[in-house]
């Protein structure tokens, strides 16, 4: 399967613990996005990378959140000192930048990691 | 602030009915609008609309964008129970070289047999 993959699919943790999620994008895609989705809402943008550079971060991304994409391939999203409000589905998406496609951009989503903070 | 508003928020129909889902947007540096179908997992891509007035079709689904009035519609004809899902609309904000999606809350469609 050459789609976007995420690991783990589910994570239950206690408040105050740190968690780390991984995303493997479609191999030729140079852009990678992280979103958060809570029940009944559409996904909310968190951050995005073009290759290994983190180009934008949402104000939703507090200091407890950090994301990396060290080699421009897979990415990790870490949440430190988790809070109950962090419980959500964390979605990763990848795309080719329009500079490469010559047109508009389409993002393809992974299956998500569902986080429950007790 | 960018926003995307979808209506209705939920819809219940019977198999065979035709439905129209609405999406209005206010997105700075707007370039394209995407429709996704989300079941109990991540969204799956349906359509990307960049040009106004050009209908895109895929089987029983079709969609069109009106850049003057800042809205899009998604039509589903002859609905089936497998069409039951949340349909998400997202505007693409192309600030500078960046691009991120501004999602609406979605329309939850339930198709009864």
Could A104 and B31 be called an inter-chain contact, meaning their C-beta atoms sit closer than 8 Å?
Answer: yes
Please give the sequence-ordered ranges of beta strands (E in DSSP) within chain A, or none if there are none. Answer: 5-7, 10-13, 19-24, 31-37, 44-50, 53-57, 65-68, 75-79, 88-95, 108-109, 113-117
Q: Which of A42, A50, A105 sits opposite B92 (nearest CB)?
A: A105
Q: Is B80 helix (H, G, I), strand (E, B) or coil?
A: coil
- Phi, psi for B41 (deg, rounded to 5): -155, -155
- Contact (CB<8Å) A97/B102: no
Closest chain B residue to the Cα of A6, Cα to Cα: B42
CB A96 within 8 A of CB A31: yes
Reported as a single tens digit per residue, the pLDDT across B54-107 is 899 999 999 999 999 999 999 999 999 999 999 999 998 776 445 578 899 999
Q: How far is B67 from chain A (nearest CA, A)?
A: 15
Average pLDDT of span A62-86: 94
Q: Say if residue A103's pLDDT is above 70.
A: no
Task: Determine, for residues A109 and B101 on separate chains, whether the beta-carbon distance falls below 8 Å.
Answer: no
Distance from CA of B43 to the nearest CA of A (A): 6
Taking the C-alpha atoms of residue B78 and residue B59, their distance in angstroms, rounded to an integer, is 10
Asked whether the beta carbons of residue B98 and residue A55 sit closer than 8 angstroms, the reply is: yes
Q: How buried is residue A22: exposed, middle or buried, by Cβ count under 10 Å (0-12/13-18/19+)?
A: middle
Q: How far is B92 from chain A (nearest CA, A)?
A: 8
Compute the C-alpha angle A25/A27/A30, nearest 5°. 75
Interchain contact, A43 vs B105, CB within 8 Å: no
Interface residue of A93, A105, A113 to substitute, partner B, most B CBs within 10 Å: A105
List the single residue in A55, A104, A110 with the smallest CB-CB distance to B32. Answer: A104
The pLDDT of residue B12 is: 97
CA distances from A87 to A3, B25, B34, B42 (A): 25, 28, 26, 16
Among the partner-chain residues B41, B43, B50, the one whose CB lies closest to the CB of A104 is: B50
Q: pLDDT tens for residues B8-63?
A: 999 999 999 999 999 999 988 888 899 999 987 788 889 889 888 889 999 999 99
Structure token digits, residue A66: 């950090």
pLDDT at residue number B97 = 45
Neighbours of A21 (CB within 10 A): 21
Query: Which of these, B39, B90, B100, lies nearest to A95 by C-alpha position?
Result: B100
């Amino acid at each position: 399967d050459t789609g976007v993959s995420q690991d783990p699919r589910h994570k239950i943790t206690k408040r105050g613990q740190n968690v780390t999620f991984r995303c493997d994008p479609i191999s030729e895609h140079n852009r990678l996005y992280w979103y958060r989705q809570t029940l009944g809402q559409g996904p909310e943008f968190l951050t995005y990378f073009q290759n290994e550079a983190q180009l934008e971060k949402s104000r939703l991304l507090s200091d407890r959140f950090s994301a990396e994409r060290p080699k421009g391939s897979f990415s990790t999203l870490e949440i430190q000192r988790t809070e109950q409000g962090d419980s959500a589905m964390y979605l990763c998406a990848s795309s080719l930048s329009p500079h490469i496609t010559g047109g508009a951009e389409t993002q393809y989503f992974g299956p998500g990691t569902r986080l429950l903070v007790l | 602030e960018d926003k995307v508003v979808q209506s209705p928020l939920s819809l219940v129909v019977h198999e065979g009915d035709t439905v129209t889902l609405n999406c209005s947007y206010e997105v700075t540096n707007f370039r394209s609008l995407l429709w996704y179908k989300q079941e109990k997992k991540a969204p799956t891509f349906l359509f990307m609309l960049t040009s106004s007035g050009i209908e895109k079709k895929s089987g029983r689904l079709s969609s069109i964008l009106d850049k003057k009035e800042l809205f899009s519609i998604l039509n589903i004809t002859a609905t089936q129970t497998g069409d039951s899902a949340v349909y998400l609309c997202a505007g693409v904000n192309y600030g500078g070289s960046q691009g991120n999606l501004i999602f609406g809350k979605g329309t939850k469609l339930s198709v009864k047999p």
